[in-house]
């Protein structure tokens, strides 16, 4: 499966989601490749940290840029069971190219009006991509949401997504938890972090099941 984690807004947790899914997929015994298309290279640094600590299973990672991305991804898909593409937070050549070959795209946004405004462009990009990739499924993940139960931003944001024809809402919300930052620093997924933050683990496991249809 080819899964794209991307969007137009930065700071929404795309790399956190990409790296966690990649590690969890590897832990499930799948041959997975993480493709980092962001010039900042955060996903690649995460893999380097994982390699430096000799953490197993190893997650393979490559950096790819430019218009040739679709052909390269299709070639790599012959060698890996799953590919997870981490695209930077902007309307880039890489984001548009990845939309042409991905089977699913998950678009993380923070529960704020600024992030919601970026979805107009993403809705249009997905619609355009479906002309070349008609089976593309696109879902929005509300990410980095407050852990305070009295804050209802996520629910309010979810209601606004009905305005978009090509975007659905993912069933899980990813909260802004320290565990995600601790895991990232050590090249881990939250499911590998000790001691475990069970709420973070539950969130990521729920997302994993939704992304991969619990294969």
pLDDT of residue 151 exceeding 70 = no
Question: Which pLDDT band, with edges at 50, 70 and 90, does 153 fall under?
Answer: low
Q: Which two tokens stand for residue 65?
A: 């840029």
Q: What is the pLDDT of residues 97-129, one digit of tens each?
A: 999 999 999 999 998 878 888 899 999 999 999
Model confidence, pTM: 0.92
Tell how strand 137-142 and strand 2-7 pair up. Answer: unpaired
Q: What is the pLDDT of residues 53-74, one digit of tens each?
A: 999 999 999 999 999 999 999 9
Handedness of CA 198, 204, 206, 208 (dihedral sign): negative
DSSP states of 144-183: SB---TT--HHHHHHHHGGG-SS-EE-S---B--HHHHHH
Q: Where are the domains of the chain?
A: 2-212
Closest CA to 19 of 202, 173, 188, 214: 188
Q: How far is CA 73 from CA 33, 109, 121, in A?
A: 10, 25, 24
Give the C-alpha separation, 41 to 56, whole Å: 21
Domain 2-212 of CATH type 3.40.30.10: no
Start-to-end CA distance of the chain, whole Å, equals 11
């Amino acid at each position: 499966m080819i899964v794209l984690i991307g969007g137009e807004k930065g700071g929404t947790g795309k790399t956190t989601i990409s790296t966690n899914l990649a590690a969890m997929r590897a832990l499930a015994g799948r041959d997975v490749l993480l493709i980092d298309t962001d010039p900042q290279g955060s996903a690649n640094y995460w893999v380097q940290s994982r390699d430096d600590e000799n953490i197993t299973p190893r997650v393979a990672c490559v950096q790819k840029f430019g218009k040739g991305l679709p052909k390269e991804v299709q070639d790599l898909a012959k060698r890996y069971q799953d590919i997870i593409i981490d695209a930077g937070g902007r309307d880039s050549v890489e984001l548009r190219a990845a939309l042409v070959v991905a089977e699913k795209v998950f678009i993380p946004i923070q529960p704020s009006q600024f992030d919601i405004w970026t979805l107009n462009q993403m809705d249009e990009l997905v619609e355009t991509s479906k002309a070349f990739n008609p089976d593309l499924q696109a879902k929005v993940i509300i990410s980095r949401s407050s852990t305070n139960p009295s804050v209802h931003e996520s629910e309010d944001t979810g209601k606004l997504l009905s305005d978009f024809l090509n975007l659905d809402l993912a069933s899980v919300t990813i909260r802004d938890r320290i565990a995600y930052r601790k895991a990232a620093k050590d090249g881990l997924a939250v499911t590998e972090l000790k001691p475990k933050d069970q709420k973070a683990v539950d969130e990521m496991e729920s997302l994993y099941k939704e992304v991969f249809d619990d294969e």
